[in-house]
Amino acid sequence: MIGPARVLRAAAALQIAQLSANLFMLFCVFVQPLFIAVTAMYILRHRPDFDPMYVVVGAGLSGLWSVALFDGTWAVQSERWQGTLELIAASPAPVMLVVGGRMLGSMAFSLLSMVVCYAVGAWLFGYELVVRDPLGFIVAFAFGLFSLWSIAVLLSPIGILWRTAARFLNVLEYPVYILAGFLFPILFLPGWSNPVSNLLPPYWAAVALHGTAAGTLSRPELMLALLVLVLASAIDLLLARSLLQMVLRAARRAGTLSLT
């Protein structure tokens, strides 16, 4: 395996091992999506056009977003607390690659929330879950996951650069659930918030996934959503790289790579 791929894989494996033992993460990935899915199922099934897959996707996305948000913000900080950030920074592996790999592990782990929500729909409620545009759905899922991953990578240097911002970032969990229209269309929100929604990659991921699951999204519309996701990801990753380099250089200048 060539160099970068090895680092990504090793970092991802490490992250999954760390997360499996982390109670908070287990909560984000199992408990919260479970409750949200069950609650939403009960509430939304009264709709004449009810599609259980809608709840599975929406609640699953909430788990994916929570993991991306929390892991992204705290991953590198936790390395610092553990004393391993110094070792990583001094190793030949680019820190961006290590962070990217860690977030890959996080996103892979977060897929469990999709599984949980699927289980809620299929087993707990006994619904038949259908994806009407399977190909479109798979593509949308891949792009959506990629975009969430790039947001997580971007959050790492932000979490360090602006320590107070990191605490505020955690508040963004539910607001994104709301603004991205995971479990209800954004037309239920005030008009002025719609442009904000349009700026959020998770919104486009939700549009693409909901639409392909229900089979109501035309190909051009899907293409648009995917384009937005790719563009957002590219911007996130470029920004992440610059910020990370900035953070590391500043840390080397000030001597704050470790806590001592």
Residue numbers at the binding site for other proteins (CB under 8 A): 1, 3, 6-7, 9-10, 13-14, 17-18, 21, 23-24, 27, 31-32, 35, 38-40, 42-47, 82-84, 86-93, 98, 164, 167-168, 170-171, 174-175, 177-178, 183-185, 188-189, 249, 252-255, 257-258
Closer residue to other proteins (CB): 48 or 220: 48
**Minimum separation from the CB atom of position 107 to other proteins (A):** 19
- Tell me the closest approach of the beta carbon of residue 31 to other proteins, in angstroms: 6
Q: Considering the complex, what minimum distance in angstroms separates the CB of residue 115 from other proteins?
A: 19
Q: At what angle do helices 95-119 and 219-254 cross, to 10 degrees?
A: 140
* 116: its two tokens: 């949980």
Contacts (Cβ under 8 Å, ≥6 apart) of 230: 143, 146, 147
C-alpha 4/C-alpha 9 separation (Å) is: 9
Our CB check for other proteins shows the closer of 42 and 218 to be 42
Where helices occur in the chain by DSSP H, the ranges are 3-20, 23-26, 32-44, 52-82, 85-90, 95-119, 134-161, 163-169, 173-179, 194-199, 201-214, 219-254
Nearest to residue 206, comparing CAs of 149, 141, 112?
141
Rank residues 84 and 194 by Cβ distance to other proteins and give the closer one.
Answer: 84
Which one, 197 or 233, has the nearer CB to other proteins? 197
- Token readout for 49 is 């056009």
Shortest Å, Cβ 139 to other proteins? 27
Of 23 and 135, nearer to other proteins (C-beta) is 23
Task: Output the smallest distance, CB 211 to other proteins, in A.
Answer: 16
Tokens of 124: 């707990």
Nearer to other proteins, 6 or 227 (CB): 6
CB 165 within 8 A of CB 154: no
Least separation in angstroms between CB 134 and other proteins: 26
